[in-house]
Copies of this chain bind each other. A is one copy, B any other.
Amino acid sequence: MDKLRKHIEQVISLTDAEFDHVKSFFTLKKARKNQYLLNEGDEAKHEFLVLSGIYKVFYVDAQDREYIVQFARENWWMSDYEAFFRQKAAGMYIECILPGEVLYSTLETRERLSKELHKMEHFFRVKLTNGYVAQQQRIKLLLSSTPQQRYEEFSKLYPDLLQQVPKKLIAEYLGVSRETLSRLYAG
């Protein structure tokens, strides 16, 4: 559980009592390889903070093609946030790629902690700000760049993921076919 405290204290500082209170809203869960933490159609009740392992957040289109919205590793939050924030049925899946542990909690937790502790609302705002900026960059990448540029950008941002996850999945993240991606670092 100490990882949670460290994670939060990268942004704000908490007394022991405050942390104990915060902690009480989170539950630990082990994830095995290929295990699903969220299924399309489920109520998106939880958000997850990754302690270890690698996960993919993805959706499937009418032609059964998969698209990865996010890879998540240590210290990343993940959920189908569209569904989570609006408390609707999930349109996405979360699957464990490399085994590890996550903490999970609910929207109620987020709102309640934000209300009770100004500091925690600040924490969530900062996190959201970072996420917003990251998404903006992703939008720009998808709008204007060639497969080549997307691959290079990805390699720069996530050199370790490049090693740890199958190229096939990276293609699904970049919005490029497996074959095209393969030819990028061959030619």
In the assembled complex, A128 has its CB within 8 A of some CB on chain B? yes
With A and B bound together, what is the CA distance between A131 and B125 in angstroms? 12
In the assembled complex, A167 has its CB within 8 A of some CB on chain B? no
In the assembled complex, A143 has its CB within 8 A of some CB on chain B? yes
With A and B bound together, what is the CA distance between A129 and B128 in angstroms? 7
B-chain residues with CB within 8 Å of residue A144 when the two chains form the complex:
59, 61, 65, 67, 175
Q: Is the CB of B114 within 8 A of A122?
A: yes
What DSSP secondary structure best describes chain A's contact surface?
A: helix
Nearest opposing residue in chain B for A66, CB measure: B144
Q: How many copies does the complex hold?
A: 2
**Interface residues of A toward B: which range?**
20 to 34
Q: Is the CB of B135 within 8 A of A82?
A: no
With A and B bound together, what is the CA distance between A21 and B77 in angstroms? 35
Q: Is the CB of A136 within 8 A of B69?
A: yes
Known: A118-B118, A125-B124. A132 touches B65 (CB 8 A): no
Q: Is the CB of A125 within 8 A of B114?
A: yes
- A140 contacts which of B59, B131, B133 (Cβ < 8 Å)? B59
B-chain residues with CB within 8 Å of residue A135 when the two chains form the complex:
132, 135-136, 139
B-chain residues with CB within 8 Å of residue A175 when the two chains form the complex:
142-144
B-chain residues with CB within 8 Å of residue A61 when the two chains form the complex:
144
B-chain residues with CB within 8 Å of residue A137 when the two chains form the complex:
82
With A and B bound together, what is the CA distance between A69 and B121 in angstroms? 28
B-chain residues with CB within 8 Å of residue A131 when the two chains form the complex:
132
Q: Is the CB of A133 within 8 A of B85?
A: yes
Q: Which residues of A contact B (CB under 8 A)?
A: 59, 61, 65, 67, 69, 81-82, 85-86, 114-115, 118, 121-122, 124-125, 128-129, 131-133, 135-140, 142-144, 175
